[in-house]
Chain A
Amino acid sequence: MKRRNDTIASLNSRRDFLKRSLALGLIAGTGTLFDSRPVFAAGNQNVTQRVLANIFLGGGPDLRHAFVPPFSTVTTSVGYAYWKNKATSHSIANDNTSLNNRWTSDFFPVSSGSTQFGILKRCGWLKSMWDQGNVAFVCNVFGSDSRDHDQATTVMELGDTTAPKSAFGSGWGGRLAYAARGNVLAVSGYPRAFSYGPDPAAPNDLKKNSDQNVIIASNMRDYGLYDAPRGTASVGTNQRVARALRSYYAGKRPTIPDSSPYARFFDTEEKLRSFGDQIDARLAAFPQPADLQTWIENSSYGWYLGMQLRNLHDALACSDIVNLRVASMEFNGWDSHDNQRNEIEGKLEALFGDGQGLDLLYRNLSPSAQQNLVFVLDGEFGRQIRSNGGNGTDHGEGNYIILIGNSVNGGVYGTMFPQREVDILAQPNRYYNPDIQGLTAIDHVFGRACDWASAGSKGAVFPQFASKPIETGLNLTGLLA
């Protein structure tokens, strides 16, 4: 099934998006958002603090589809087992010639140490970043052994492998921002559970959360509430109402206790009104990147992914104003039960392709922004390593976590293609659910990224990491510089 669909993705037409883009989301909570510092020079983001950008690939992405073992005719090899069992989800005939053609035609052969693998050619930008040593694949990572979208998503969002489906609490992005004394920018619009930080009154209680460090930004370039001009008595009918409301909210807000269910609306009104002016002033000096804007307008995924990337570009330009430490993004639709190749390769290209989403963002980032930004990409679970009857794959467990950035020490971390998979694929019961075994808990991978973003934060964000499993021999100390 299709995983939850972001509002932006659910838009049926660009006309709709344009209407939506008339306004934007902004801030939840009452965080320390206004950190006034000198304004940057126009056109050059001056990013002085490290920023972790999490892109959640909702639906359970089959990343093994894009990063594959080389085809081999040796029947006991992983390259044979993989391709024979995934032929239909690659939409190819299950014979050696077709499998080999697919491998040689559509994948870049690369290696890391003794591991040989291929990168889907539609992921050209990722390949170039790999060549520069800026991409890491951490293998066999798991959050939940549940194959339920909602529960597995909750686990990944909260960064708590023990969380039940209905869990409520702080997200690991929010906890990181709290530890770093900064904010999470939810550039996708609705804030993901990942974004909410701990309750300041009980920061170690994972079951409580707060929105005080969350900034909701579905369009950084259109902020603010309708208002009447200041100092002008005679205004129109609607502006009189607007002026009445401005006065009302300002007069009423101090009397609203935090415990009131209406407090969030008073907070939002205040932030929308006052915060927009600073953002507008800053972005006036930062024109929209023309190539990214063109992609937004023309790519199938531009309006969904591209707007988030543009928001991130703008947020980096305003990183001092918004005290940016964590960015929350999402790119859903990876639940490829059928027609997997058609379902996900376009998305892979939109993310990782030459001249596509991340490439276009990266081109428009200053050296300081590139140096201080790391992307962490994950989904709620991996998928089974044998295709199903619909040319797709069903829910599995372990998956790759991908880290991208100038500060990443590129390479493969963990065993990319364990022999276990060859063994289980050889079992005769075709109804057995073969998947990637989860060996390394998310705590270790995300925790290492947190330590990079804010030194010493791992223990605060993932307090149980020491007791969580990690693949034998895996050392993530050098994952990030």
Chain B
Amino acid sequence: MRSRYAGIAAGALIALCASLPAGAVTYEIIYVPVTIVVNGKPVVIRRPVVRPVSSSTTGLLPGLPAVSDATWDETAVRKVLQIFAYGGLARDSQVTTWANMKPADAIKQMLTLGTTNNLLSPSEGTTFGDGTLTGVSAFLSGASSPIPDTDYRTDFEQDAYNGSNFTWMYAATLRGLNPFRQKMGLFETNYHLAVHRRSLSSEQLFAYYDRIMSALAASSTNGYETVMTTAALSAAVARQYGHDSARFNRSTGECYCNEDFAREYHQLFFGILALNETDYHENTTIKNTAKALTDMNLYHPGFTPSTDPEPWAGQEVQYQSDQHPAGTLDILHNANAGTNAQQRFLNQAAAQINHPESLDTLPVMIVEVLADDNLSDTKKAALRQAWRSMARKDMLLFLQAYAISTLFHDPARVKYLNSFDRHLNITNKTALSNTEQYAEWPRTRWLNDFDQQRPFEPMHEVFGGQTGEETSKSAYLFQSNYDNATENGGRNTGYTLTRHGLTLTRNWASVVPATNGTYPVRSVAEWLWQRYVSDGGKNLGPLERAHLYALLATGRDLAYAVSATDVDRVITASDLATDATLAAAVNGYAASLMNLNSAVSTERRDANTRVGQAINFILATPYMLAQEGR
């Protein structure tokens, strides 16, 4: 964190900076969080430190120069977390620590693909099985589940109607797991390599997700194409597209198959349309790919395809040759060899990932879906350069490089948040413990109930889930968000809650930083805005401040707080600048103190309710619905 938080020592440090030798190196003041004990209580203060500012903008990949150290601050960190990790669950002190690190070092801690990331999502001491979707499901639905309501536990069972849905949402929002991993899991299984729950058995779906994520985690070593190969050879994709029953008759040369996935393997998985050779693509590549997708027989573990009473629901695949073509198949001008589907797709992967169209399409598609609805041709070229520079395509490295790059932090970048982003960011910012999650206080499920979005039910089926652009243009979803912050605002203004056998009391004082032991309204408002909007206060203007100050200081809306006889008054920023009485009132609200740490229960309740009101106000502003670069 930098100069806006410069404290008492800032002047001395600035003088120190000025006294340092002139030259190429410049210096900045950063504030490192340090815990000290005041009146017997631990208090986090920010200690000023002088450090040289790196002028190097070398990024992790060519084409993606990193932002300067000056740009890499807490807001930059929070923007990355908001886009790539549903806001993350890192503590404020960790965010500060990352902001004070070199971006290339910080990002390697922030975005990882393991099942856990204790910096991004600190554990509360619970181990969620092996951290896979299957493991989390088993843990939350099992005898050791921290959810006391056994009926609610069953909702997390793999076979339950909401099993995959609830388990994924919780995996993305529980402390002790890794929300970035789940974001990437949603991207791969619901957008890029999308399947729909309706078409699959639950065991196929869970296996698909976990194996895709395992392949993705290993792709830094094995190459990103292994993720697509894993998907292409999966039982889930075979069921989704129907080629689990495809057969090739070696005697007649007839293929009892369909071209569905044969086409989408190239188009959706690798971005290859082959528009410059349509006839060849249609009549050779797709035809032969369909032949390659034959004799894939599904079964459950412990059975064989012939002994399994329900092989169609199995998550395992036996790749056989009897009803599969012999010899090579011409696919994308590659002499594809293999005696079964598995061998063929393993052998085909290199030609796919290195195809010129794929090299152009994949990096742009990835960034468009995840982070930027306003990609210019220049930015696309930079992304392609970075992608091409990797001899072995490393998705994680690509995203890390992009997340700290000038492209991501460019002012022209705009990402409209889809319903998943909206709801899960709110959950991760609002739930102060896993227990609140178990009690459904953040109401993550409103993603299902109001926005009608569920993981593994992509809106456009195999073409992917709801996009941010679609979400931003939907008046229905605007209304859903607005009404959830107002009509259903009790989820955030409530002080106590008893649900699923858990009784909770809201305590914002546990996370809102105190100023000399007090909670000035102005500070609380700024902290809340940054926590939820994460724009460094760019859009926290006089009007936003006035409304937030009034709610936090009085529990009333601004017009009512100012005058009970003109409650429908529209107040503008101009009014705030020109109406002295109004300005004085607002300044008074800003300077007042909140009773978040009062010894009186009713005062704490009122203070927490007001924080909830302020949160609801923030949630319903447009600034929660999109993210800009810097």
Q: Are A237 and B493 in contact (CB under 8 A)?
A: yes
Given contacts A19-B449, A233-B560, contact A272 B478 (CB under 8 A): yes
Across-interface contacts of B202 in A (CB, < 8 A) = none
Specify which of B246, B273, B416, B450 is in contact with A151 (CB 8 Å cutoff): B273
How distant is the Cα of A252 from the Cα of B539 in the complex, in angstroms? 11
Q: Are A271 and B475 in contact (CB under 8 A)?
A: yes
* A contact face: mostly helix, strand, loop, or mixed: loop
Across-interface contacts of A395 in B (CB, < 8 A) = 259, 263
B460 at the binding interface (Cβ < 8 Å): yes
How distant is the Cα of A262 from the Cα of B466 in the complex, in angstroms? 19
Contact string against B for A residues 307-347, beta-carbon threshold 8 Å, 1 for contact and 0 otherwise: 00000000000000000000000000001011000000000
Residue of A240, A246, A388, A432 contacting most chain B CB atoms (<10 Å): A240
Q: Are A262 and B623 in contact (CB under 8 A)?
A: yes
Q: Are B626 and A261 in contact (CB under 8 A)?
A: yes
Across-interface contacts of A164 in B (CB, < 8 A) = 275
Stretch at the interface among B3-11, B19-27, B568-576: B568-576
Given contacts A241-B616, A251-B543, A433-B282, contact A226 B486 (CB under 8 A): yes
Q: Are B570 and A251 in contact (CB under 8 A)?
A: yes
Interface positions, chain A 109-166, Cβ under 8 Å from B, are 145-151, 164-165
How distant is the Cα of A480 from the Cα of B557 in the complex, in angstroms? 58
Q: Are A24 and B479 in contact (CB under 8 A)?
A: yes
B609 at the binding interface (Cβ < 8 Å): yes
Given contacts A23-B480, A241-B616, A244-B547, contact A394 B258 (CB under 8 A): yes
CB distance from A164 to the nearest CB of B (A): 8
Across-interface contacts of B568 in A (CB, < 8 A) = 230-231, 243, 246-247
Given contacts A4-B463, A25-B475, A272-B478, contact A240 B556 (CB under 8 A): yes
Stretch at the interface among B204-212, B249-257, B346-354: B249-257
How distant is the Cα of A164 from the Cα of B466 in the complex, in angstroms? 22
A350 at the binding interface (Cβ < 8 Å): no
Q: Are A432 and B283 in contact (CB under 8 A)?
A: yes
Contact string against A for B residues 182-201, beta-carbon threshold 8 Å, 1 for contact and 0 otherwise: 00000000000000101000
B389 at the binding interface (Cβ < 8 Å): no
Given contacts A216-B473, A265-B625, contact A247 B559 (CB under 8 A): yes
A residues contacting the other copy or chain, number (CB 8 A): 82
Specify which of B457, B473, B480, B609 is in contact with A237 (CB 8 Å cutoff): B609
B245 at the binding interface (Cβ < 8 Å): yes
How distant is the Cα of A465 from the Cα of B255 in the complex, in angstroms? 41
The A/B interface has a contact count, at CB < 8 Å, of 244
Across-interface contacts of A268 in B (CB, < 8 A) = 475, 478
CB closest chain-A residue, reference B364: A166
Q: Are B476 and A232 in contact (CB under 8 A)?
A: no
Across-interface contacts of A248 in B (CB, < 8 A) = 543-544, 547, 617, 621
CB distance from A433 to the nearest CB of B (A): 6
Specify which of A7, A147, A149, A261 is in contact with B463 (CB 8 Å cutoff): A149
B462 at the binding interface (Cβ < 8 Å): yes
Contact string against A for B residues 607-630, beta-carbon threshold 8 Å, 1 for contact and 0 otherwise: 001000100110011110110100
Interface positions, chain A 348-406, Cβ under 8 Å from B, are 388-390, 392, 394-395
A430 at the binding interface (Cβ < 8 Å): yes
B60 at the binding interface (Cβ < 8 Å): no
Q: Are A241 and B485 in contact (CB under 8 A)?
A: yes
Q: Are A216 and B474 in contact (CB under 8 A)?
A: yes
Specify which of B196, B278, B473, B476 is in contact with A23 (CB 8 Å cutoff): B476
Q: Are A233 and B543 in contact (CB under 8 A)?
A: no
Q: Are A266 and B259 in contact (CB under 8 A)?
A: no
Given contacts A238-B487, A238-B489, A262-B626, contact A189 B264 (CB under 8 A): no
CB closest chain-B residue, reference A1: B260
A35 at the binding interface (Cβ < 8 Å): no
Q: Are A216 and B475 in contact (CB under 8 A)?
A: yes
Q: Are A433 and B558 in contact (CB under 8 A)?
A: no
A410 at the binding interface (Cβ < 8 Å): no
Across-interface contacts of B449 in A (CB, < 8 A) = 19
Q: Are A240 and B613 in contact (CB under 8 A)?
A: yes
Q: Are B459 and A10 in contact (CB under 8 A)?
A: yes
B261 at the binding interface (Cβ < 8 Å): yes
Q: Are B256 and A389 in contact (CB under 8 A)?
A: yes
Q: Are B457 and A10 in contact (CB under 8 A)?
A: yes
How distant is the Cα of A225 from the Cα of B475 in the complex, in angstroms? 10
Q: Are A247 and B617 in contact (CB under 8 A)?
A: no
Q: Are A241 and B282 in contact (CB under 8 A)?
A: no
Q: List 10 A-B contacts (CB under 8 A).
A: A189-B476, A225-B482, A230-B568, A237-B609, A241-B489, A247-B559, A248-B621, A262-B539, A337-B260, A431-B287
Please name the 9 residue pairs, one residue from A and one from B, whose CB atoms are nearest each other, closest first. Answer: A389-B256, A265-B622, A4-B460, A25-B476, A244-B557, A226-B487, A26-B475, A262-B622, A242-B486
Which residues from chain A sit less than 8 Å from chain B, CB to CB? Answer: 1-7, 10-12, 16, 19-20, 22-28, 145-151, 164-165, 189-191, 211, 216, 218-219, 225-226, 230-234, 237-248, 250-252, 254-255, 261-262, 264-266, 268-269, 271-272, 335, 337-338, 388-390, 392, 394-395, 430-433
